[in-house]
Amino acid sequence: MAALLQGIGAAAALSSTSLDSKRFEVSSLKSLPIQTARKGRVFAIRSDSRDITLGSSNNKARSSPKLVANAVATKNEGSTASTTSKPGHELLLFEALREGLEEEMDRDATVCVIGEDVGHYGGSYKVTKGLATKFGDLRVLDTPIAENSFTGMAIGAAMTGLRPVIEGMNMGFLLLAFNQISNNCGMLHYTSGGQFKIPVVIRGPGGVGRQLGAEHSQRLESYFQSIPGIQMVACSTPYNAKGLMKAAIRSENPVILFEHVLLYNLKERIPDEEYICSLEEAEMVRPGEDITILTYSRMRYHVMQAAKTLVNKGYDPEVIDIRSLKPFDLHTIGNSIKKTHRVLIVEECMRTGGIGASLTAAINENFHDYLDAPVICLSSQDVPTPYAGTLEEFTIVQPAQIVAAVEKLCQ
Among 102, 147, 259, 392, the active-site one is 147
User: Rounded to an integer, what distance in angstroms lies between the CA atom of residue 205 and that of residue 170?
Assistant: 5
- Which residues, in sequence order, are bridge partners of residue 166? 114, 202
Neighbours of 98 (CB within 10 A): 28
CA angle 286, 233, 219 (to 5 degrees): 100
Question: How many other CB atoms are there within 10 angstroms of residue 386's CB atom?
Answer: 16
CA distance 60 to 265: 22
> Which helix H or strand E contains 93, and what residues bound it?
helix 93-107
Q: With contact defined as beta carbons under 8 Å apart, do 203 and 336 qualify?
A: no
Q: Is 120 a catalytic residue?
A: no
Q: What is the residue-wise DSSP string for 249-269?
A: HH-SS-EEEEEEGGGTTBEEE
Q: How far apart are CA 377 and CA 355, in angstroms?
A: 10
- Beta-carbon contacts of 375 under 8 Å, excluding residues fewer than 6 positions away, are 343, 344, 345, 360, 363, 364
Q: Which one is catalytic: 103, 167, 216, 347?
A: 216
Q: How many helices (H) and strands (E) does the chain have?
A: 14, 16
What is the end-to-end Cα distance of the chain in Å, rounded? 62
Asked if 147 is an active-site residue, the reply is yes
Task: Please list the active-site residues.
Answer: 147, 216
